[in-house]
Amino acid sequence: MSDSALDVVEFLLTTSVYSDDRSLDENDLPPAIRRVFWTGGSGEDDESEETDGDGPRGRRRRGGIRRPLSATNATARAATGVDRPWDAVSELMFTDRDEFSGTITLTQQDLAERWFVERADDERLAANPTLAKHFEDHESVDISYEEARERNRPIQADRVWIDGLLEEYFSDEDEQEMLDLVDVRAPEEVDISLDDIVLTPGQEAEIEKIAKAIEHRDYLAQIGLREIGKLLFVGPPGTGKTSTARALARDMDLPFVEVKLSMITSQYLGETAKNVDKTFEVAKRLSPCILFIDEFDFVAKTRRSDEHAALKRAVNTLLKAVDDISLIQDDVLLIGATNHPDQLDAAAWRRFDEIVNFPKPDSGMRADILEVITRAMDIDEFDPYAIAEATEGLTGSDLRMVLREAVLEALTENRRVLTQEDLLEAVAGFEERDNLKNMDMIEGDHDALVAGGDLGKASDGGHDHDHSHDH
């Protein structure tokens, strides 16, 4: 029997068990099934006040999943990815289908359960708390309900939950405009984890500390340790600041709210201070979450300049908002990032309880980065240490660009297997483009200016580091 049949039977059993067992909630459903049935408006529990415990973090939860769950060809396809769900299980003696509604049912659930348990391994059950609980006492099952629930991603990390909350709290046209100032990502949408990033021992230690603070924030509140949870990442472009923040969000199952200060303080000059407040409000509404503020050096630039008064008011509002927000009180981890720490003044520095340095990688780190980003590539006689020695001064983002160029060059020759020589040639090409970008144009030569402009744009496209890919 195919994996498709096993996937569909798991879906049918899950919808049936969840519909009957009222002690289960949405965090017991696997995310792939949960997103199919989640409603952002009124759910069955809307009238109840649900909190995360006593204290300031308790808040009303909106949206939900209505019982009974409807198992149809459409919902099964959306949850399992099986293109023709009924065809996958139609020959099983315990399944039936209503031709009119498309509903798929289990005619003999006991038989379906025996069939499923014989074929499902513990890893499959560990990813499904609903069935882990249902089969917990079965002699052949070696997975506990609590373990499965602990491993399951919480509903607050799902895109559907985030979208429902944003729609509810920011439904007015003016507020929708404000949401254009932030980039809100669900953990499931972040395509990088901390395992994909090469960190220094110091960076690893700081990340471990903050992860423990998030995990034990109730205890920290209890003992009165509230001045924690504001990090400043400093270092050149391309060294992994944004990637590390996003990866932390993914690994901790936290929504990721990203803000670029230059955008907030320039797009709507007349309402800059209001926009800053609303940005922090988004983070608090989505808590627990990570609020990532890029270009934090913009604060110091604005405070020292003769900029418009509205900008200065916005910066003062921002500094006050940074003071007021708290991991312990608001469940918001604040991470600021800057490429220019030398431009920050004392007022900006003292807002953060931890400073995490992101230097350009040394030779050993570059070799490690190359090992990580070439995992899926086929390279003959690959020597990452030789490439690392040839890439002095390059960042993780630069190394990705080098690999990209090597792959594209090989494809022009209809090759998918790279060689060490391909990589070394790509390094030389990258350095040549980098030099061209910084070359002074010949004064008065129109053709040279046009060519230089084109070259500059091409180089900037590859070297103005996209922090979503830096390492």
* Helix (H) / strand (E) containing 419: strand 417-419
Q: Helix and strand tally (H, E) in the chain?
A: 24, 12
Q: From the CA atom positions of the chain, what is the Rg in Å?
A: 26
Beta-carbon count within 10 A of 393 CB? 11
What's residue 267's pLDDT?
52
Classify strands 378-380 and 417-419 as parallel, antiparallel or unpaired.
parallel
Residue 181 DSSP one-character state: T
CB 60 within 8 A of CB 49: yes
Mean pLDDT, the chain cut into blocks of 10 residues (471 residues total)? 89 97 96 90 43 41 82 96 96 94 95 95 95 92 92 90 82 67 89 93 93 89 85 94 95 91 59 75 89 84 61 79 90 94 83 92 95 94 95 94 95 95 94 65 39 34 40 43
Residue 69 DSSP one-character state: P
Beta-carbon count within 10 A of 95 CB? 21
Residue 103 DSSP one-character state: B
Question: At CA 125, angle to CA 120 and CA 128, rounded to 5?
Answer: 130
- Of 41, 290, 330, nearest to 165 by C-alpha is 41
Measured distance CA(395)–CA(465) in Å, rounded: 9
Distances in Å between the Cα of 448 and the Cα atoms of 7, 386, 431, 462 are 61, 36, 20, 21
Q: Around 57, how many Cα atoms within 13 Å sit in the side-chain half-sphere? A: 18
First to last CA, the chain: 43
Question: Which is it for the CA torsion 437, 439, 440, 445, positive or negative?
Answer: negative
User: For tokens 């490690």, what's the residue?
Assistant: 368
Phi, psi of 214 (to 5 degrees): -65, -45
DSSP 375-391: TT-EEET--HHHHHHTT
The structural domains of the chain, ordered by start, are 3-152 (no CATH), 157-357 (3.40.50.300), 363-463 (1.10.8.60)
What's residue 221's pLDDT?
87
Bridge partners of 182?
Answer: 259
* Helix (H) / strand (E) containing 424: helix 420-437
pLDDT digit string, tens, across residues 43-100? 444 433 344 443 334 444 457 899 999 999 999 999 999 999 999 999 999 999 998 9
Cis peptide leading into residue 68 (ω within 30°): yes
Measured distance CA(292)–CA(467) in Å, rounded: 12
What's residue 300's pLDDT?
64
Widest pairwise Cα distance in the chain: 85
Beta-carbon count within 10 A of 271 CB? 17
What dihedral angle (degrees, nearest 10) is formed by the CA atoms of 295, 296, 298, 301?
A: -140
* Helix (H) / strand (E) containing 97: strand 95-97
Task: Read off the amino acid at residue 91.
Answer: E
Cis peptide leading into residue 85 (ω within 30°): no
Alpha helices in 193-304 (DSSP H): 201-215, 217-222, 241-251, 261-267, 272-285, 297-304
Residue 71 DSSP one-character state: -
Residue 72 DSSP one-character state: B
Phi, psi of 267 (to 5 degrees): -75, -40
Two tokens at 331? 């469940």
Bridge partners of 294?
Answer: 260
Go through the chain and tell me how many residues it has.
471
